[in-house]
Amino acid sequence: MTNTPLLQAKSLTKKFGTLKANDSVDLVVQPGEIHALLGENGAGKSTLVKMLYGALQPTSGQIYWKGQEVHLADPAQARTLGVGMVFQHFSLFDSLNVVENIALALPKGTKIGPLAKRVEEVSHDYGLPLKADNLVADLSVGERQRIEIVRCLLQNPELIIMDEPTSVLTPQEADLLFQTLERLSKEGRSILYISHRLEEVQKMCDTATILRHGKLVEHCNPANETAASLARLMVGSSVKAVERSKPDVSAAPVRLKLQKLSLPPASPFAVPLSDISLSVKGGEVVAIAGVAGNGQSELFDALSGERDTPADAIIINEIESGHKGVTARRSLGAAFVPEERLGHAAVPDLPLSENVILTRHGSDKPLKSGLFLQRNHAGELGIRISEAFDVRKGAPDPNAGSLSGGNLQKFVVGREIDRGPTLLVVSQPTWGVDAGAAALIRQALLDLARQGAAVVVISQDLDEIFEIADRIAVINKGELSKAEPVEDMSLEKIGLLMGGVHGAEPETIPASKGQEAYNAD
Amino acid sequence: MQIELQKRALPSSLMTWLSPALAITLTVLTGALMFGMLGFNPAQALYVYFIAPLLDSWSLQELVVKAAPLVLIGVGLSICYRSNNWNIGAEGQFTMGAILGSILPVVFYQWESPLTFPLMVALGALGGALFGAIPALLKNKFGANEILTSLMLTYVALLTLDYLVRGPWKNPEGFNFPESRLFSDAALAPSLIADSRMHIGALFAVIAVIAIFILFSRTLKGFEIRVLGATPRAGNFAGFSKERMILFAFMTSGALAGIAGIIEVAGPIGQLTPTISPGYGFTAIIVAFLGRLNPIGILFAGLLLALSYLGGEAAQIELGISEKTSKAFQGILLFYILACDTLIHYHVKFVSSKKKEAV
Amino acid sequence: MEILEAILITIVTASTPLLLAALGELVVERSGVLNLGVEGMMIMGAVCAFAVSLTTGNPYLGLVAGMLGGVVMSILFGFLTLTLVSNQVATGLALTLLGLGLSGMVGEGFVGTPGVKLAPLPIPGLVELPVIGRALFGQDPLFYLSVVLTIGTTWFLFKSRAGLIVRAVGENHGSAHALGYSVIKVRYLAVMFGGLCAGLAGAYLSLVYTSLWIENMTAGRGWIALALVVFASWLPKRLIIGAYLFGTVSILQFHAQGAGIGIPSQLLSALPYLATILALVFISRNRAVARANTPACLGLAFVPDR
């Protein structure tokens, strides 16, 4: 191409302390193109785009906008130039309504009244319907993303940066998003699209820039690559595929049984669980798919015993456990790994040896003698877990908070598997960890199941689910669909069970008949 | 000029111990400046305030007498603050302990036995614990903010004491002074050394320090306290009950404050009066923080803050500096501690604003 | 009738300092900062106002000094909690202890000296109204200011862009930062407004309520103001109800003591504190309601990554 690039970054470097999050990265975005930015978790994608949006200041390097060098002091300046951003962890305010959220990103002097009208117009125009006075807290994740996109569009940007936009959407919602993106690109706007989903990138994007460990690896045309070759560029080596065999569970005992489990919402904006029934046998992996915020964390809390339920709603190893606490359930052979590593699964400011005590003080008798803790034993367990699960650490017994995401996740999963549980409930086992750690964790989950344990995986990552699940159920608005064998499931089917498109306009898709409308397509 | 913070990978253990020293130094410097501005010779004033009380045995004993309640309350508060329960009503629990413990020598004054004093201590602990349980229960049952309720209850306790010594418990032979009858010998705290003011309270304080030290470092309960305080969600996941911890923390610290209260009236004072504490319950908050919420640290911090009381009295007598300066000092000290604690978790950098713009 | 009028007047004077202090704290908390040092800022406001009005003879200069006293204290708090990210609860306690200590020291020379009273500013005509005339229209300027401030704060928080930003910062400081707002700057301003209001409230005590300096004369009013913010679920208009409810309780107990109705005076004196506890229990009991308006980032430290 001979025309001036819309945006060009030359040898951008960003250091946090001694860590180089970006190491002289170059990037060229042409007008009207959809440009993919690929890389593993922790490769430096977010750091790069935050610099392009003025939210972080580069340590060195230059940014050119339409050929002119620019210094972006803050996001407001980037927005004035014509850069818009849709964040991965949305930058929304739950207690404010849609139009207030949007006003906050627009220049001073924007009047709320007229803005509300424009928001509704623009959002309908792009097929992303929104109501101006809805409270954000009441909206689904997909609708929240719409606010971000509409907020961005109202600034009439020439470059839109999107950080992992499809990771929170149903497959149907993702398709809608792709249509919107295509339309934006036809209007001459450029899109910088961050993702680690390779099929998506191949389908959508004109060019791709790949980062690894903060460094630029390659500029390429995704159409000329295969998913496998892209993956190799991202990871740097090929990742071992998970090995699995089909289990025979006909004679296996039922290890977890949920009978009409219901739970009222804990806070005004939380999701209630209603009538959830499920039965999981030893030897199998059952995955629970669903879009974030549909009751997954409530379900996890009910299963782990962090919230109380009727006694007969949850049966662990044939014992009614709904009213039992976490420690009692662990003593029955159950183990749990919550979604949040820091602050839920582990205490950041305590060493690994004490984090071992956290979940095992009740079930591992040798950890305690009388009133007193046996710290030596805890330390030995910490070492054993670290070795078995390849936890890489800088000190013999470092604080949990100092480990990288992948290593800490290997530790918290390992801490539970090391106990030899007969039931493991794990939420988002590989969220935000690198490919190597993800493969190790998934294999460990499968191996545990094949040794006779029942494994329940709550995950939003459909690729992961298809990789390890024997049966799949879908949670939507606090209700759980029937768990079907993985052979009978497809992306489309799961997407519909996830609720298809949330918050669509009633005239296009009647809420109650959403499924039929889609089936008719 | 701007200050930028950068999180340390690990909390600095050097700074953990250096920060209180730095805070004390800054307080002393500020004190010198303050004395200078008030027209006193700073060196002389500081000497009278902080050095002279350490040089004779009477004031050394007095130091221990004043430090004992501060340490007792302070170690109790460390349980609360480490478990993220903001009990600021220790002054009230101290008072209630004193009141309940005084039932024996005031109401049943004829009963004198070797058991009198031990029973008074037990009642004092009970009074403090029960009074401490109120904010805990209100927090558990209704979610009422414990900071506000525990403080409001302090006023209630102080008014109760005022009512008792002016009303039903007024000494019938006391010429209508607002005081209870004098405690009998059996109800007085035994001296540690014959004929000295150093009474058994100091021993209690040391025992409490050791017990709480073991609790924190060796037991599952201590682990529970730390986990629930740092990350309640992880504590819940570990199977620890937040509600029970709230009650435990408030009742334990209430009991310790109650013991401090009854020993104070059975020791140095010897009867109930409308004012039995020069703000020990609030000063102990400073003691707890200055001691890093660590029992051993609290022992030293208690001695230091006791020194500030003694120094304040000495400075008033010898130099005519207002005794009120000691309260101001205590406040300034706490401010400096909290400021210096930033160094434990962060690198502090000074950045000129101009340079930042240019980047 | 005259007794009723007198009671109404005293209720207004007892409620105004609570309302002023609570209004400031409400804005502070809306920005996500919990400043427990209201008592300390208030007492510094009281002593500064008293000292300056006495030495200059001008109560308005005293008023300015009271505000400055509160603001300087609040900047100290801001420096620790916002710049040095110290624990907000502990720092608030420190601010209170510091304020009580310093004010005792500064005010020692003034104990027992009659001060300068801020004269009432009757509104012609309206003040003649029966019963409520003198209570509502014959008051000092600070009372009128408290009413204007309440309305102004409601408008500011819910109708102005700046107020929207304050709420946004208190709700989600990470997002506000990502959108390019300076969380620290917004919070400093809010904290300083809180200091100004607390200073005014303190000045009211030493210039209007008693026109004397008494050590610890705030007597827990700063803490009651904090409870009022919770009671009002962070809405300024509800603050009026709360403040006047408490003003009424404290005045009625005062009159009951005067009338000598045979209840121990200490029990009556304890009523406002017991009422505070009751009010907290009442409002916190329904957790859903209590939480709905709670700023989500209340009390949380914020360190921007750079």
> C53: exposed, middle or buried (C-beta count within 10 Å: 0-12, 13-18, 19+)?
buried
Number of domains forming the structure of chain C: 1
Q: State the DSSP H helix or E strand holding residue A372, giving kind and residue range, or none if neither.
A: strand A372-373
Residues of A with Cβ-Cβ distance to C305 under 8 angstroms: 16, 56
Residues of B with Cβ-Cβ distance to A368 under 8 angstroms: 220
Interchain CB distance below 8 Å, B227 and A347? yes
Residue of C nearest to A100 (CA): C164
Residues of C with Cβ-Cβ distance to A74 under 8 angstroms: 180
Q: How sure is the predictor about A517, in pLDDT bands with cuts at 50, 70 and 90?
A: very low
Residues of B with Cβ-Cβ distance to A361 under 8 angstroms: 220, 223, 238-239
Q: What is the CA radius of gyration of chain A?
A: 24
Candidates C168, C287, C305; nearest CB to A93: C168
Q: Are C9 and C134 in contact (CB under 8 A)?
A: yes
A203 pLDDT exceeds 50? yes
Domain of residue C269: give its range: 2-292
Is C159 a member of any domain?
Answer: yes
Mutate to test the interface with A, among C158, C161, C298 (most CBs of A within 10 A): C161
Residues of A with Cβ-Cβ distance to B231 under 8 angstroms: 343-344, 347-348
Distance from CA of A44 to the nearest CA of B (A): 19
Amino acid at B119: L
Residue of B nearest to C80 (CA): B339
A-C C-beta contacts closer than 8 Å: 61
Mutate to test the interface with C, among B38, B159, B283 (most CBs of C within 10 A): B159
pLDDT of residue C289: 65
Main-chain phi, psi angles of C185, to 5 degrees:
-65, -45
- Nearest of C70, C71, C50 to residue C61 by alpha carbon: C50
Main-chain phi, psi angles of B39, to 5 degrees:
90, 20
B289 and chain C in contact, CB less than 8 A: yes
A28 token code pair: 């060229």
pLDDT of residue B70: 97
Average pLDDT over residues A375-387: 94
- The domain A7-235 is placed in CATH, from the list 3.90.180.10, 3.40.50.300, 3.20.20.70, 3.40.50.2300, at 3.40.50.300
Task: Please give the share of chain C, as a percent, with pLDDT higher than 70.
Answer: 97
Residues of C with Cβ-Cβ distance to B338 under 8 angstroms: 80, 84, 86-87, 90-91, 94
Is C301 a member of any domain?
Answer: no
Candidates C85, C90, C102; nearest CB to B342: C85
Residue of C nearest to B159 (CA): C266
Candidates A57, A343, A359; nearest CB to B238: A359
Could you read off the pLDDT tens digit of each residue along chain C, which spans 306 residues? 678 888 888 899 999 999 999 999 999 999 999 999 999 999 999 999 999 999 999 999 999 999 999 999 999 999 999 999 999 999 999 999 999 999 998 888 888 888 888 888 888 878 778 777 777 887 888 999 999 999 999 999 999 999 999 999 999 999 999 888 999 999 999 999 999 999 999 999 999 988 889 988 999 999 999 999 998 989 999 999 999 999 998 888 888 877 777 788 899 889 999 999 999 998 888 766 666 788 989 988 888 765
Candidates C175, C288, C305; nearest CB to A91: C175
> Average model confidence (pLDDT) for chain C?
90
Distance from CA of C111 to the nearest CA of B (A): 13
pLDDT of residue A514: 36
Mutate to test the interface with C, among A91, A108, A112 (most CBs of C within 10 A): A91
Residue of B nearest to C104 (CA): B324
- Classify A255-489 by CATH class: alpha beta
Q: What is the pLDDT of residues A249-278, one digit of tens each?
A: 888 999 999 999 999 988 777 889 999 999
CA distance B268 to C82: 43
Domain-wise residue ranges, chain B = 66-307
Residues of B with Cβ-Cβ distance to A399 under 8 angstroms: 10
Average pLDDT over residues B20-28: 92
Q: What is the pLDDT of residues C280-297, one digit of tens each?
A: 998 888 766 666 788 989
Distance from CA of B237 to the nearest CA of C (A): 22
Is C103 a member of any domain?
Answer: yes
- List helix spans (H) across chain B: 13-37, 42-46, 57-82, 90-101, 103-107, 116-142, 146-166, 201-218, 220-230, 232-237, 242-264, 280-290, 295-319, 325-345, 353-358
Same fold, A7-235 and A255-489: yes
* pTM of the predicted model as reported, rounded to 2 decimal places: 0.90
Candidates C177, C291, C296; nearest CB to A268: C291
CA distance C95 to B331: 7
What lies within 8 Å, CB to CB, of B229 at 6+ separation is: B81, B82, B83, B84
Domain-wise residue ranges, chain A = 7-235, 255-489
Higher pLDDT, A359 or A521: A359
Q: What is the CATH number of the domain that holds C213?
A: 1.10.3470
> Average model confidence (pLDDT) for chain A?
88
Interchain CB distance below 8 Å, A371 and B220? yes
Q: How sure is the predictor about A196, in pLDDT bands with cuts at 50, 70 and 90?
A: confident
- Nearest of B52, B26, B68 to residue B267 by alpha carbon: B68
- Bridge partners (DSSP) of residue A320 are A315
Q: What is the pLDDT of residues A120-131, one digit of tens each?
A: 999 888 888 899
Distance from CA of C98 to the nearest CA of B (A): 4
Candidates C167, C180, C305; nearest CB to A96: C167
> Average model confidence (pLDDT) for chain B?
91
Distance from CA of C138 to the nearest CA of B (A): 33
SS3 assignment, position A77: helix
CA distance B1 to C149: 34
Q: State the DSSP H helix or E strand holding residue A381, giving kind and residue range, or none if neither.
A: helix A375-388
Interchain CB distance below 8 Å, A54 and C180? yes
Q: What is the pLDDT of residues C55-69, one digit of tens each?
A: 999 999 999 999 999
pLDDT of residue C108: 86
> B39: exposed, middle or buried (C-beta count within 10 Å: 0-12, 13-18, 19+)?
exposed
CA distance C26 to C33: 10
Residues of C with Cβ-Cβ distance to B163 under 8 angstroms: 264, 266-267
A299 pLDDT exceeds 50? yes
Which pairing describes strands A60-65 and A159-163: parallel, antiparallel, or unpaired? unpaired
CA distance C21 to A329: 50
Interchain CB distance below 8 Å, A55 and C178? yes
Candidates A56, A75, A267; nearest CB to C179: A75
CA distance B71 to B284: 7
- Window B:66-85, CB contacts with C under 8 Å: 81
Residue of C nearest to B321 (CA): C105
Residues of A with Cβ-Cβ distance to C170 under 8 angstroms: none
Residues of B with Cβ-Cβ distance to A358 under 8 angstroms: 227, 234, 237-238
Q: What ipTM is given for this predicted complex?
A: 0.89
Q: How sure is the predictor about B220, in pLDDT bands with cuts at 50, 70 and 90?
A: very high
Residue of A nearest to C287 (CA): A267
Which pairing describes strands A479-480 and A454-458: parallel, antiparallel, or unpaired? unpaired
Is C299 a member of any domain?
Answer: no
Residues of C with Cβ-Cβ distance to A105 under 8 angstroms: 179
Interchain CB distance below 8 Å, C101 and B331? yes
CA distance B258 to A377: 39
Residues of B with Cβ-Cβ distance to C266 under 8 angstroms: 159-160, 162-163, 166
Tell me A270's DSSP state.
Answer: P
CA distance A211 to A223: 18
Distance from CA of C76 to the nearest CA of A (A): 28
Distance from CA of C127 to the nearest CA of A (A): 40
Mutate to test the interface with B, among C284, C291, C294, C305 (most CBs of B within 10 A): C284
Residues of C with Cβ-Cβ distance to A268 under 8 angstroms: 288, 291-292
Candidates C172, C178, C306; nearest CB to A57: C306
